[in-house]
C-alpha cells in the first residue's frame, strides 16, 4: 500500500483545485458545495485517474481529468438525491432536504458547467467527446433503472446494463482517460478501459450487495433502500428466481412489512445466494485485474489491482 | 418579414437534426423528448443563431450552434419544471407530472450530454469554453432567483442580475456564436454579443410583464405565477416601492387571497406603472437595435431588429 501513500500530494492538490473550481458569488451555491463537494467522500474516481496516469508514467492534464470525473460524479449525486430519496448521503442529511430540490438540481448543473470548463482547459476535443458519451450513458442508465422499476421489467441483462451505464462507464473513463491524454496505443487504452469497466461493475455489485446485506453502522445509513425503491439487484434477482414464493411477496410489497428485510437477509445467507453473489463480485474483480496484464509491473498497477480485489471484502 | 421566410429551410433541417440527436434506446427518454423537445416551442434561440449567422454572410457549424443553444435551453426547462412548479409548459402538462421529477431531471442531463456531443463536433474549444461560461451563469442565475425569493432580498439590481444570467446570457451566445465561428474581429463579436444580451433582457422583461399583465387565453396558462412564487419583477418592484401599503401585503402573502391579482393588475394600470414598464422594455429593445449599427444593412439584420422591437408589443 505504499503506492497509495504516493497519492497524498496529488489528492491534496485535487481538494484545493476542486474548492477553487466551485467558487461562486451566489451564497446558496457556496452553501451546498461546502456540504457536498468539499466535504470529501472517498474520491475513488480521482484516485483511479492518478493511479492509471502513474501506471503509464504520468499523463498531461491528469488533474483536469481527476476534477472532471469527480464533478460529473458529484453532479449525478445531486441529481440523484431526488431520485433515490436517499435519507443520508455520505453520512449527512441529503442536501436537498435543507435547500429544496430546486437548488440541488441547479447546483448539479453548476458543477456540470465547471466540468465543461475544466475539460476545455485540456484543449483535447476527443476528451470532450468521451465525456459527452459517458454523460449520455449515465443519464440513460439512471432513466433505465427508473423505467425497469416502474415497468417491473426485471432481468439479469437489465441489471448488467444498469450497473454498466450508471457506474462502470465513468470509472472506465477514469482509467482510460490518462491513456487517451498520453496518446497511448489502442491496446493500452482498451486495457485500461476494460479494467475501469470491470472494476466499476464489481464496485456497483458490491454496493448493491451491501445495500441489503451490509451493516447499517458500517454504512452510516439504513439497509434495504433498493428494495424500498423497487430496484432489483443481483442478490434479489437470484432470490426471486430461486425462491419465488418466499421472496416474491416481500419484493412486490417493497419490504414494507415488519421483519421483511430480515427475512430476505436470512434467506440470502442460509440459501447460499449471498455467498454466490460474493463469488460473482470476486470473479468480476479478478477479470478487472486480468485486463491490466499488459501494463508494466509498477506499484501503481499493483495499487489498481488491490483496489479491485478490495471489492470482494469491502464493508462500507 | 421576407427574411424570416428564408429561415424555413434551416429551421426544418434543425427539427430533423434535433429529433435525431435526442434518439435513445431507453423508452422513457423517448417519451419525454417527444413531449418536450420535438413538440416544438418557438425556437427563438436557433432563429437568433441563423439570423446572426446570415447577417454575417453565413457561419460554419451554424446548425451545431443552433442545436446546442436549444439543447441547453430545453435542459433548463426540464430542470425548471421542478423549480417553478409550472402547471403548464408550452401549453401542455409539465413533463415531470407524468413521469416524476426523476426522469425530468435525468432527461435534462441527457440533453446536456448531447449538447456536449454537438459542440465537440465543431472542433472549436473556444465554443466549449463559452458554453461552460453560459451554463455556469444560467445555473447561478436560477439559484440567485431562488435565493432572492427565500431571503426576500428584492432590489432592481438583483432583478437585472437575474434576467441577465438566466435568459440574456444564452441569447448573447446565440448571436455572438456565429461571429466566434467565423473568427470575426472583436468589435463584430461584441456588437452581436451586446445585441443578444439586450434583446434577452427585453425578452425576459416582457415575459415577466406578461406573467402579471397578460391574458391567460393568449398565454395558455394562468397569470400571476411569479407573485405566487415570491419572485419580484420590474412591475411588482415598482409597485412595492411606489405603493407599499397597497402592494406590500398582497406580495407578502403571495397573492393568495381572492382578488389579489386583479387588484395588482388594476393598480399597475391606473398608476401608470404598467405603461412605465412597457416603456422600459421598448427602450431596452431600442438599445439592442442600436448595437447592430456596425453590421451591414441586410434583410437578416433587419429581421433581428424586428425581433427586438416585437418585444414592445408581444402578447404571448
Q: A106-155: per-residue pLDDT in tens?
A: 999 999 999 999 999 999 999 999 999 999 999 999 999 888 988 889 99
Q: B150-198: per-residue pLDDT in tens?
A: 888 999 999 999 999 999 999 999 999 999 999 999 999 999 999 999 9
Mean pLDDT of all residues in A216-243: 94
Beta bridge mates, B88: B93
pLDDT band at A3 (very low <50, low <70, confident <90, very high): very low
Q: A23-35: per-residue pLDDT in tens?
A: 999 988 888 777 7
Q: A125-135: per-residue pLDDT in tens?
A: 999 999 999 99
Cβ distance A139 to B79 less than 8 Å, yes or no, reads no
Mean pLDDT of all residues in A258-281: 97
Cβ distance B109 to A146 less than 8 Å, yes or no, reads no
Q: Which residue of A has its CA nearest to B111?
A: A136
Smallest Cα distance from A245 to chain B, Å: 31
Residue B129 and residue A123 in contact, taking contact as beta carbons nearer than 8 Å? no
Q: What is the pLDDT of residue B2?
A: 47
Q: What is the pLDDT of residue A33?
A: 75
Cβ distance B101 to A120 less than 8 Å, yes or no, reads no
Q: Which residue of B has its CA nearest to A158?
A: B26
3-class DSSP string for chain B: CHHHHCCHHHHHHHHHHHHHHCCCCCHHHHHHHHHHCCCCCCCHHHHHHHHHHHHCCCCCCHHHHHHHHHHHHHHHHHHHHHHHCCCEECCEECHHHHHHHHHHHHHHHHHHHHHHHHHHCCCCHHHHHHHHHHHHHHHHHHHHHHHHHHHCCCCHHHHHHHHHHHHHHHHHHHHHHHHHHCCCCHHHHHHHHHHHHHHHHHHHHHHHHHHHHCCHHHHCCCCCHHHHCCCCCHHHHHHHHHCHHHHHHHHHCCCCCCCHHHHHHHHHHHHCHHHHHHHHHHHHHHHHHHHCCCCCCCHHHHHHHHHHHHCCCCCC
Mean pLDDT of all residues in A198-215: 97
Q: B90-119: per-residue pLDDT in tens?
A: 455 555 555 678 788 999 999 999 999 999
Q: Which of B83, B102, B119, B138 should we substitute to test contact with A (largest number of A Cβ atoms within 10 Å)?
A: B102
Evaluate if residue A58 carries a pLDDT over 90. Answer: yes
Smallest Cα distance from A160 to chain B, Å: 15
Cβ distance B29 to A129 less than 8 Å, yes or no, reads no
Q: B67-82: per-residue pLDDT in tens?
A: 999 999 999 988 877 7
Of A63-77, A203-217, B96-110, B248-262, the poorest mean pLDDT is in B96-110
Q: What is the pLDDT of residue B1?
A: 45
Q: What is the pLDDT of residue B94?
A: 57
Domain range annotation of chain B: 2-304
pLDDT > 70 fraction of chain A, expressed in percent and rounded: 91
Q: Which residues of B fall within a CB distance of 8 Å from A96? A: none
Q: Which residue of B has its CA nearest to A150?
A: B99
Q: What is the pLDDT of residue A87?
A: 44
Q: How far apart are CA A235 and CA A150, in angstroms?
A: 19
Q: What is the pLDDT of residue A46?
A: 97
Right CATH for B2-304 from 1.10.600.10, 1.10.150.120, 1.10.3720.10, 3.40.50.800: 1.10.600.10
Q: What is the pLDDT of residue A92?
A: 56
Q: Which residues of A fall within a CB distance of 8 Å from B75? A: 109
Q: What is the pLDDT of residue B99?
A: 64
Cβ distance A138 to B26 less than 8 Å, yes or no, reads no
pLDDT band at B38 (very low <50, low <70, confident <90, very high): low
Cβ distance A103 to B135 less than 8 Å, yes or no, reads no
Q: What is the pLDDT of residue A86?
A: 46
Cβ distance B131 to A119 less than 8 Å, yes or no, reads no
Q: Which residues of A fall within a CB distance of 8 Å from B106? A: 79, 83, 139, 142-143, 146
Q: A153-173: per-residue pLDDT in tens?
A: 999 999 999 999 999 999 999
Q: C-alpha grid cell for residue B144? A: 440567485
- CATH H-level, domain A2-310: superfamily: Farnesyl Diphosphate Synthase (1.10.600.10)
Q: What is the pLDDT of residue A2?
A: 47
Q: What is the pLDDT of residue B164?
A: 98
Mean pLDDT of all residues in A38-60: 91
- Nearest by CB to A140, from B29, B123, B139: name it: B29
Mean pLDDT of all residues in A238-260: 96
Q: How far apart are CA B310 and CA B316, in angstroms?
A: 11
pLDDT band at A88 (very low <50, low <70, confident <90, very high): very low
Q: How far apart are CA B272 and CA B269, in angstroms?
A: 6
Q: Which of B82, B105, B140, B231 should we substitute to test contact with A (largest number of A Cβ atoms within 10 Å)?
A: B105
Q: Which residues of B fall within a CB distance of 8 Å from A114? A: 132, 136
Mean pLDDT of all residues in B228-255: 95
Cβ distance B117 to A138 less than 8 Å, yes or no, reads no
Cβ distance A117 to B102 less than 8 Å, yes or no, reads no
Evaluate if residue B125 carries a pLDDT over 80. Answer: yes
Smallest Cα distance from A243 to chain B, Å: 30
Smallest Cα distance from A209 to chain B, Å: 24
- Nearest by CB to B125, from A28, A113, A123: name it: A123
- Please provide the distance, in angstroms rounded to a whole number, between the alpha carbons at the two ends of chain A: 19
Quickly count: other Cβ atoms within 10 Å of residue B291's Cβ: 21
Amino acid at each position: 500500500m505504499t503506492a497509495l501513500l504516493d497519492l497524498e500530494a496529488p489528492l491534496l492538490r485535487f481538494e484545493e483545485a476542486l474548492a477553487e473550481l466551485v467558487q461562486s458569488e451566489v451564497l446558496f451555491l457556496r452553501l451546498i458545495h461546502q456540504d457536498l463537494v468539499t466535504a470529501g467522500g472517498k474520491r475513488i474516481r480521482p484516485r483511479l485517474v492518478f493511479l492509471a496516469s502513474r501506471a503509464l508514467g504520468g499523463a498531461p492534464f491528469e488533474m483536469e481529468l481527476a476534477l472532471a470525473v469527480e464533478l460529473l460524479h458529484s453532479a449525478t449525486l445531486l441529481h440523484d438525491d431526488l431520485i433515490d430519496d436517499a435519507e443520508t448521503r455520505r453520512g449527512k442529511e441529503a442536501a436537498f432536504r435543507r435547500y429544496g430540490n430546486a437548488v440541488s438540481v441547479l447546483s448539479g448543473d453548476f458543477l456540470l458547467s465547471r466540468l465543461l470548463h475544466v475539460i476545455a482547459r485540456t484543449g483535447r476535443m476527443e476528451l470532450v467527446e468521451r465525456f459527452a458519451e459517458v454523460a449520455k450513458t449515465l443519464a440513460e442508465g439512471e432513466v433505465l433503472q427508473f423505467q425497469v422499476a416502474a415497468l417491473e421489467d426485471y432481468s439479469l441483462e437489465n441489471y448488467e446494463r444498469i450497473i454498466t451505464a450508471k457506474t462502470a462507464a465513468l470509472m472506465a473513463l477514469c482509467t482510460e482517460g490518462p491513456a487517451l491524454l498520453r496518446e497511448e496505443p489502442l491496446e493500452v487504452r482498451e486495457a485500461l478501459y476494460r479494467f475501469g469497466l470491470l472494476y466499476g461493475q464489481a464496485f456497483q455489485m458490491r454496493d448493491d450487495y451491501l445495500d441489503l446485506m451490509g451493516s447499517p453502522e458500517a454504512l452510516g445509513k439504513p439497509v434495504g433502500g433498493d428494495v424500498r425503491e423497487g430496484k432489483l439487484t443481483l442478490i434479489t434477482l437470484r432470490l426471486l428466481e430461486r425462491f419465488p414464493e418466499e421472496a416474491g411477496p416481500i419484493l412486490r410489497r417493497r419490504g414494507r412489512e415488519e421483519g421483511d428485510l430480515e427475512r430476505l437477509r436470512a434467506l440470502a445467507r442460509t440459501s447460499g445466494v449471498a455467498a454466490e453473489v460474493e463469488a460473482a463480485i470476486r470473479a468480476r474483480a479478478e477479470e478487472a485485474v486480468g485486463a491490466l496484464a499488459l501494463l508494466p509491473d509498477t506499484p501503481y498497477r499493483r495499487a489498481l489491482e488491490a483496489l479491485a480485489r478490495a471489492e470482494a471484502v469491502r464493508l462500507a
